[in-house]
Structure 1
Amino acid sequence: MTHDHDLVLRPTAAQTEAALDPPPGRTGGDLVVETLAGLGATTVFGLPGQHALGVFDALRRSTLRYIGLRVENNAGFAADAYGRITGEAAPLLLSTGPGALTSLAALQEAAAASAPVLAICSQVPTAGLGGGRHGHLHELPDQAASFRGVVKSVHTVRAQSQIPSAIEAAWKSALTVPHGPVWVEIPQDVLVAPTSIPVVTGGDAFPDELPPRPELTAVAAHLLSNAARPAIIAGGGVVRSDASGKLRRLAEVLKAPVVTTPGGKGAFPWTHPLSLQSWMEDRHTTDFLEDADVLLVVGSGLGELSSNYHTFWPRGRIVQIEADLGKLESNHPALGIHADARLALQALLETVEEREDELAPDRVRQVLALIAERIASQELTLEQQVLASVRTALPADSPSFWDMTILAYWAWSAFDAKGPNHMHSAQGAGGLGYAFPAALGAAVADPTRPVLAVSGDGGALYSIAELATARQHGLDVTWLIVDDGGYGILREYMTDAYGEATATDLTRPDFVTLAESFGVPAALTSPETLETDLTKALATPGPSVVVLPAVLRMFAPTHLD
């Protein structure tokens, strides 16, 4: 009897001949880039550094496209977005010590948002490893220890023969649900030494599937089929697993209203009769979800932003589908189903019974009307006008990337993403500087659509150097910078909490002149001309900057009503 796992692919005569006579001039760095190409990578991001030069030298002998950014953290954000847009593992090449550590905030965001990033970093020479201090430039006593609490998995290499297997294992880890960043570490001498190891010609790193346990989906299907007031919370896991279509079909079969979290934006059609949209930060939405007798939570850990700042206390039964075992039932007791959202939703579709509920769309309309009435009472016309102008200017199929800025906080609740995997923000880890470098990564991933980045002036200063990257590669990204003179959201928080703000006002450059000095066209706009100026910028190929001087306000904290 022969089992599938017993089958071994035999090399052809040509492969054998090539393996016995590898081309000269190759190093460990070539094994890195050959393995990446064999696994299907076409593009890598990063920055060179002294210990990593063996990999960068090998790049010129490969077919891989290299996109070099100016700061490692920004390179990580670009790789994060590339992974989100393509669904592929995005290689990120880093150098030892300071270069590696500078990427940590980006890898934290990738981990929080389940973005598949394959970080490959150099190390000091092998003789310098082991925890001592050998005086090497960039040396850390235990570099990998700085990343173990951030990435999914750490893979260390100490010999050239380990390179292909380590990178394949990391690739598989990054793409096994939940997706996430992984870390591969290779010493400098291993990268630069000549190699006689045959050329890496292929890769087999198919990710493991995570199907649901059938006895659990049977119970979940029974609960949902017999619920009187079912509701659904759709999180980022629905988007990452490409399960939006299955979510819609299940909601329609169950007649269950759906609300999407900030990470799940676009997972359910905004104008669907069952759509509660994304008003997670609203007491009316929270009340509605608390009243559900069966609440299906898909691809969300019900963290701070997805639970109205932990004021959400459901009275009914929760069914939680979550690929990240650490998030399963971490905030609320539930029928926990550890599974990929796509596979679990398919199992439910095959087992639930159709419900009849003619009043569900009416209940949705009532909640949305209460939200609209509440927002209208707060005199926030400017904020709604600016957000509406952005939505009108941005093509429906274009992705947008948002920094941690007041307009993004509005967008989490009030912006129609027009589809899954279209709207992305740094709400996973909450760091500044995400939007513009991430948008650059998205433009590399799909150059057929213009990409929008939205930052405040504070966040923009984190990534201003990447205007050089945008110009160098001619990337089709329009960057909207809302200039309110500082860290606007922190100014609001401090004023509300302490009566006045400290350390939130900033001296800024003239963003228009600065962008133009990089060779990037820029325009100063106003709330009245924003739609026109943004539409023009997005329609013009290549990078551009639009600066909007405006002080925006948040809507009142709805969880305190």
Structure 2
Amino acid sequence: MTHDHDLVLRPTAAQTEAALNPPPGRTGGDLVVETLAALGATTVFGLPGQHALGLFDALRRSDLRYVGLRVENNAGFAADAYGRITGEAAPLLLSTGPGALTSLAALQEAAAASAPVLAICSQVPTAGLGGGRHGYLHELPDQAASFRGVVKSVHTVRAQSQIPSAIEAAWKSALSAPHGPVWVEIPQDVLLAGTAIPVVTGGDAFPEELPPRPELTAVAAHLLSTAVRPAIVAGGGVVRADASGKLRQLAETLAAPVVTTPGGKGAFPWNHPLSLRSWLEDRHTTDFLEDADVLLVVGSGLGELSSNYHTFRPRGRIVQIDADLGKLESNHPALGIHADARLALQALLETVSERDDPTAPERVRTLLAKVADRIAAQELTLEQDVLASVRRALPAGSASFWDMTVLAYWAWSAFDAGAPNLMHSAQGAGGLGYGFPAALGAAVADPTRPVLAVSGDGGALYSVAELATARQHDLNVTWLIVDDGGYGILRAYMTDAFGEATATDLTRPDFVALAESFGVPGVRTSPQTLEADLAKALRSPGPSVVVLPAVLRMFAATHLGSD
């Protein structure tokens, strides 16, 4: 008997001829770019360095588009966003030692947010591998060890024949649920040496699926079908699995209210009668979820932000679906289902019974009214007006990328993303400097729509070098910088905790003049003119900067007590 996987396609005569007579002048670097192209890559991000020159020289002989950034960490953020927007593995080309290590914070964010980034890095020559005593420039005793605790998988190449298989394995790893960053490293001499290996023309780019166990979905369907007060928490896994349509079907079938986490923004329609929106940092919402007799958590680990800073104390049963095995029951006991969100939701749709609960929309309206009253009592009109102005100025279908800044904290709770996969922030790992370089990566992924980046002045200073990248590639990104004179959120935290803040006030440049020195138009706006200025900038092709001098406050941290 012959099995499908036993079948081997025989090469044609032309393929055999090409394999036996590869074009001259190719190196190990060519094997890398050929493999990427064969797997379907069209764009790579990165920064060259001495040991990686063979890889970058090979780009010259390929059809891959190279987008070079000015700092490796920013290149990682750009690749992260490209991966989130396209759902493809985003190649990130790096050089040994300092260049590689500079990307670590970006790879941590990609890991926390499950963004598929394929980092390919050079290494010292093969003779120096594993020693750390040879005195090579950039040498580390064990470079891969610096990344092993951050990325999904590590792949070390020691010979040219290993390159196609190593990159293909890494590609599959990055795109298997849960998505994430992966690491491939190749020695300098392997990249530079000439090769007689045939041109790489094929590759299996299909990751393995992660279906749920049927006995578990049967139990979950019974629990949800017989629940009195079911509710759903939708996390980033729903967005990454492109499962928002199935989530909506299931919520409507069960008459179950849905709240989306910061990572799950847009997974459920904002104005749907069952939408609790995203007010997870709110005691009323926490109480509502605690009162659910069955809580379905899809694509979320119920971490710090999603659990209202670990104050969530469920009284009912939890059904948790997550592609990351380590997140199952990591914070609360549950019926844990290890699966891709799309496949698990489909299995539930096929097995649940329809529930009729005319009270559910009314309970949702009551909760949202409580939230609105709580915010209104705190006299935060400026903050709400600024966020509303941003929403009105941003065209439908345009993506936004938010740095760790006060306005982003508001956006996690109060911003209507409009659709899945349109609002992204650095809330996975929480590092500064994400917004602008990530927006550049998104603009590369989809040049047909303007992209918005939002930063504070502190976070903006991590990214100013990328104004040169934005101008060089003429990317359609508008960068809103909210200038409050320092690290605003840390200033608030320290003042609340210690009575005064230390090390949070910053000397900063004239951001408008700085942007214009890069050839990027800039404008200084006000809360009253923000909507018009931002809308105009977003309509104008190419990069632009809008600076809003304003000190914004956070709404009360209701997880610390009652209203």
Q: Which residue of 2 aligns with 1:159?
A: 159
Local SS of the residue matching 1:45: strand
Aligned AA (1:255):
A
Q: Which residue of 2 aligns with 1:292?
A: 292
Aligned AA (2:478):
T
Return the alpha-carbon distance in structure 2 between the equivalents of residues 131 and 428 of structure 1.
Answer: 35
Deviations 1:161-204 (A, max 9, x none): 00000000000000000000000000000000000000001111
Please state how far the C-alpha of 1:205 moved relative to its aligned partner: 2.8
Aligned AA (1:482):
V
Local SS of the residue matching 2:410: helix
Deviations 1:314-344 (A, max 9, x none): 0000000000001010000000000000000
Q: Which residue of 1 aligns with 2:314?
A: 314
Aligned pairs, number = 561
Deviations 1:109-137 (A, max 9, x none): 00000000000000000001122310000
Q: Which residue of 2 aligns with 1:205?
A: 205
**Which segments of structure 1 move beyond 2 Å, counting only runs of 4 or more?**
none
Return the alpha-carbon distance in structure 1 between the equivalents of residues 471 and 452 of structure 2.
Answer: 15
Are residue 441 (structure 1) and residue 432 (structure 2) matched?
no
Are residue 168 (structure 1) and residue 161 (structure 2) matched?
no
Are residue 130 (structure 1) and residue 130 (structure 2) matched?
yes
Return the alpha-carbon distance in structure 2 between the equivalents of residues 431 and 286 of structure 1.
Answer: 26
Local SS of the residue matching 2:545: strand
Which structure 2 segments of 5+ residues have no match? none
Q: Which residue of 2 aligns with 1:11?
A: 11
Return the alpha-carbon distance in structure 1 between the equivalents of residues 291 and 471 of structure 2.
Answer: 52
Q: Which residue of 2 aligns with 1:378?
A: 378
Deviations 1:532-553 (A, max 9, x none): 0000000001000000000000
Return the alpha-carbon distance in structure 1 between the equivalents of residues 277 and 165 of structure 2.
Answer: 44
Return the alpha-carbon distance in structure 2 between the equivalents of residues 329 and 164 of structure 1.
Answer: 37
Aligned AA (1:395):
P
Aligned AA (2:122):
S
Deviations 1:416-446 (A, max 9, x none): 0000000000000000000000000000000
Q: Which residue of 2 aligns with 1:546?
A: 546
Query: Given that residues 477 and 542 in structure 2 are in contact (C-alpha distance below 8 angstroms), is that contact kept between their aligned partners in structure 1?
Result: yes
Q: Which residue of 1 aligns with 2:338?
A: 338
Q: Which residue of 1 aligns with 2:522?
A: 522
Deviations 1:27-65 (A, max 9, x none): 000000000000000000000000000010000000000
Q: Which residue of 2 aligns with 1:265?
A: 265
Please state how far the C-alpha of 1:415 moved relative to its aligned partner: 0.2
Return the alpha-carbon distance in structure 2 between the equivalents of residues 551 and 17 of structure 1.
Answer: 68
Local SS of the residue matching 1:186: strand
Q: How does 1:67-466 map to 2 (within 5 A)?
A: 67-466=67-466
Return the alpha-carbon distance in structure 2 between the equivalents of residues 13 and 474 of structure 1.
Answer: 45
Q: How does 1:500-519 map to 2 (within 5 A)?
A: 500-519=500-519
Q: Which residue of 2 aligns with 1:51?
A: 51
Return the alpha-carbon distance in structure 2 between the equivalents of residues 205 and 363 of structure 1.
Answer: 46
Q: Which residue of 2 aligns with 1:62?
A: 62
Return the alpha-carbon distance in structure 1 between the equivalents of residues 419 and 197 of structure 2.
Answer: 46
Q: Which residue of 2 aligns with 1:27?
A: 27
Aligned AA (2:89):
A
Query: Given that residues 132 and 142 in structure 2 are in contact (C-alpha distance below 8 angstroms), is that contact kept between their aligned partners in structure 1?
Result: no
Please state how far the C-alpha of 1:4 moved relative to its aligned partner: 1.0
Local SS of the residue matching 1:306: coil
With structure 2 as the length reference, what TM-score do the two structures score?
Answer: 0.99
Q: Which residue of 2 aligns with 1:482?
A: 482
Deviations 1:266-316 (A, max 9, x none): 000000000000000000000000000000000000000000000001000
Deviations 1:254-277 (A, max 9, x none): 000000000000000000000000
- Please, what is the CA RMSD of the aligned residues? 0.4
Aligned AA (1:445):
A
Local SS of the residue matching 1:551: coil
Please state how far the C-alpha of 1:471 moved relative to its aligned partner: 0.1
Return the alpha-carbon distance in structure 1 between the equivalents of residues 483 and 10 of structure 2.
Answer: 62
Return the alpha-carbon distance in structure 2 between the equivalents of residues 321 and 135 of structure 1.
Answer: 49
